[in-house]
Amino acid sequence: MTAEARTPSTSSLAISLITFRALMERDLKVLSREIIAFLARTAIQPFLFVFVFAYVQPKIGAGDPNFGDVLVPGLIASAVVLQGIQAVAIPLVTEFSQTKEIEDRVMAPLPVWGVAAEKLVFAMLQALIAAAAVVPFVYFVPLNRPDVEINPIVLITILPLGALLSASVGLLIGTTVSPRQIPLVFALLVVPLTFLGAVYYPWSDLEVIRWLQIATLANPLLYMSEGLRGGLTPEYGHMNYVAVYAGMVVGCTISTYLGVRGFVRRVQT
C-alpha cells in the first residue's frame, strides 16, 4: 500500500518536471533566435559608460585613470539586475494584457507557482548571460586595465543570488503593473536603482552624505555591487559580507514570495 500510495505523487512530480523542462526549452529556443539582439541590448549601456568614463575621459586628461576598477563590479551588477528585471516584467505584462499567452502556460500540467518558478529560472539564466556579456567590455575597454583580484567563492554565490533577486523583483513588477505604467515604473524605479546602487562608487564613500548612505540600504542593487566589489576589487573597500549576504537573502525571500503570490493571484483572477 505504501508503494501504491506514493505512485500518484511520484508520477505527478515527474510530469511537473518534464513540463518545467519543456517550458525552459521553449524559452531557450526563442532566446537563441534573438541572441544577437539580446547581447546588443545588454551590452550597449555598460560599453558606453566604460568607453566614456574609463577610456575617453582619462585619454583627454579629464577623468580618473583608475575609474575602471570601480566600474567593473558595479556594471556587472547593474547588468544582472536590469536584465533580470526586464526578462520577467516586460514579457509578463505583455502576456497578461495583450497576447494572453499566459493562459496557455498555466494550462500545462504544472502548478501555477511552478510556471512562475520557470519564469524566475529563465530570467536568472538571462541575467547570468548578461553578466558574462558585460565582462569583456568592463575589462578590456578601459584605458588602464582594471586591477582585478577574483574571489571565486564570492562570485559563485553573489551572482546567482543577484540573478534571483532581480528576477523576483521583475516578477513582482510584472504581476502588479499595468502595461501603460511600465515606462513610468522603469523611469521611477529602475533608473534610481542603478544610479544609487553603488555602481559608480563604493558605498563607503557615501559616509559624507549619511542620510543617503542609509537610504540606499533599501536598494537591492547595492548589495550585489558591494558583494562583487569585494569579490573583484577589494582594495577599494566594500560592505561587510554578512550585511551583503543578509541583504540579498532577505531581498530574495521577500520579493520571491510576493512575486509568486502576485502571479498566482493574477492568474486566478
The answer to whether residue 63 scores a pLDDT higher than 60 is: yes
> 137-189: per-residue pLDDT in tens?
888 888 888 888 889 999 999 999 999 999 999 999 988 887 778 778 877 88
- pLDDT the model gives residue 95: 79
> Within a domain: residue 156?
yes
Burial class of residue 41 (count of CB atoms within 10 Å of its CB; 0-12, 13-18, 19+): middle
Model pLDDT, residue 161: 95
Q: Whole domain around residue 261: which residue ranges?
A: 8-268
For 82-94, how does the pLDDT look when each residue is reduced to its tens digit (9 = 90+)?
A: 899 988 988 888 8
In a domain, 254, yes or no: yes
Q: What is the Rg, in whole angstroms, of the alpha carbon atoms belonging to the chain? A: 20
If one counts the domains in the chain, the total is 1
DSSP state of 66: T
Is residue 3 in a domain?
no
Average pLDDT value over all residues in the chain: 86
Residue 141 lies in a domain: yes
Could you give the dihedral angle defined by the CA atoms of residues 164, 227, 194 and 87, in that order, rounded to the nearest 10 degrees? Answer: -20
Could you tell me if residue 1 is inside a domain?
no
The confidence score (pLDDT) of residue 4 equals 47
Q: What is the pLDDT of residue 6?
A: 45
The verdict on residue 152 lying in a domain is yes
Q: What is the pLDDT of residues 94-116, one digit of tens each?
A: 877 766 677 777 787 888 888 89
